[in-house]
Amino acid sequence: MNVSNEQELIDAARVAREKAHAPYSKFRVGAALRTKSGKIIQGCNIENATLGLTLCAERVAIFKAISEGEREFDAIAVVCDTEILTPPCGSCRQIIWEFCGDIPVTLANLKGKVERETAGSLLPRPFDRSFL
């Protein structure tokens, strides 16, 4: 992925983070998912009082994209306000793999720190439809 495309995703994830609903943890996360046609779909984390039913930004972006008829993706960026960049949780890693495949995953913070991974490196030996 070229730098300008990556920065566009990071910027979109940063904007999405501002919309997060995180009144309990105060841990606001934004994600931006790019379709193969170039459309960017944003998601933010959405907490509730039970915390267990909280939706992560990555899953919100992916489910939003799927609900809008999108099925092919080529990259995702995740932005948090942490010194150590925060990777997707296990549930999000599974959803990214299942719906997006081995796409680039860019992690960033508000200070400009960036790391690059792939979905496959974050979720080695993933479970998918090939096992069904």
Q: Which residue in 8, 47, 58, 117 is the catalytic one?
A: 58
**Signed CA dihedral, 74, 123, 127, 43: sign only:** negative
**The 114-118 sheet, strands edge to edge:** 40-44, 29-35, 73-80, 104-109, 114-118
Alpha-carbon distance 26 to 36, whole Å? 33
Q: Is 58 a catalytic residue?
A: yes
Q: Where are the beta strands (DSSP E) in the chain?
A: 29-35, 40-44, 73-80, 104-109, 114-118
Supply the residues annotated as catalytic: 58
